[in-house]
């Protein structure tokens, strides 16, 4: 993992660029949120500076994960496709000052370190990209489930329940 630890400020200054593929299974915090440990995240981290000369990192993360639908409790494919601009500050105080100066919700100001772990950054980005309450736009097996219900001979209790729902 140490190969993925960078000096964030040097990385930005030298406009370094790295990319890689990281399996979801290797990311414990992310795979705790996903339905299984399948999938791979592709990431690109590019160093640079903003117009005002602040060092910054641009991180893109893409890939497919499986997450659990909160409505029908079946997993579905969720594509992560996320890009963040992270401006680097030396400490919390200057992070707040830069944040006020930039006044831009699209840009995150973080405290940069000499031991920034790229993989942790990628995992944070992926976690933020996941929906808080994931749901299918339309749950696929709902109609199949309905068909199954009506095909069965209904008990009086089930009929009562259906009446209440109408
Ligand atoms: Zn669903």
Residue bearing tokens 């160093």: 47
Q: How far is the CA of 158 from the centre of ligand 1 (A)?
A: 22
Residue range 128-135: mean pLDDT, rounded: 94
Cα torsion angle, 129, 130, 134, 137, sign: positive
Q: How far apart are the first and last CA of the chain?
A: 56
Q: Give the mean model confidence (pLDDT) for residues 106-113.
A: 94
Per-residue pLDDT at 3: 81
Per-residue pLDDT for 25 more than 60?
yes
Instruction: Return the pLDDT at 150.
Output: 59
- Of residues 13 and 163, the one with the higher pLDDT is 13
The DSSP result for 52-78, as a single string, is T--EEEEEEEEEEEEEE-TTT--EEEE
Please say if the pLDDT value at position 112 is more than 70.
yes
79 CA to middle of ligand 1, Å? Answer: 16
As separate numbers, helices (DSSP H) first and strands (DSSP E) second, the chain gives 6, 7
Number of domains into which the chain is organized: 1
Contact call for residues 10 and 88 (beta carbons, < 8 A) = no
Q: pTM of the entire structure? A: 0.80
Distance between Cα 22 and ligand 1 center (Å): 27
Domain of 158, in residue numbers? 5-165
Note the pLDDT of residue 97: 96
How close is the Cα of 137 to the center of ligand 1, in Å?
A: 8
């Amino acid at each position: 993992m140490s190969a993925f630890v960078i000096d964030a400020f040097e990385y930005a200054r030298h406009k370094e660029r790295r990319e890689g593929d990281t399996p979801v299974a290797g990311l414990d915090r992310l795979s705790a949120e996903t339905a299984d440990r399948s999938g791979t995240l592709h990431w690109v981290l590019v160093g640079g500076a903003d117009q005002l000369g602040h060092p910054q990192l641009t991180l893109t993360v893409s890939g497919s994960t499986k997450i659990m639908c909160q409505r029908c409790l079946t997993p579905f494919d969720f594509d992560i496709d996320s890009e963040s601009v992270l401006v680097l500050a030396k400490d919390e105080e200057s992070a707040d000052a830069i944040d006020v100066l930039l006044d831009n919700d699209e840009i995150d100001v973080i405290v940069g370190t000499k031991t920034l772990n790229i993989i942790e950054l990628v995992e944070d980005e992926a976690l933020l990209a996941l929906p808080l309450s994931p749901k299918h736009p339309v749950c696929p097996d709902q109609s199949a489930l309905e068909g199954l219900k009506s095909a069965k001979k209904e008990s009086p209790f089930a009929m009562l329940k259906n009446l209440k729902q109408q």
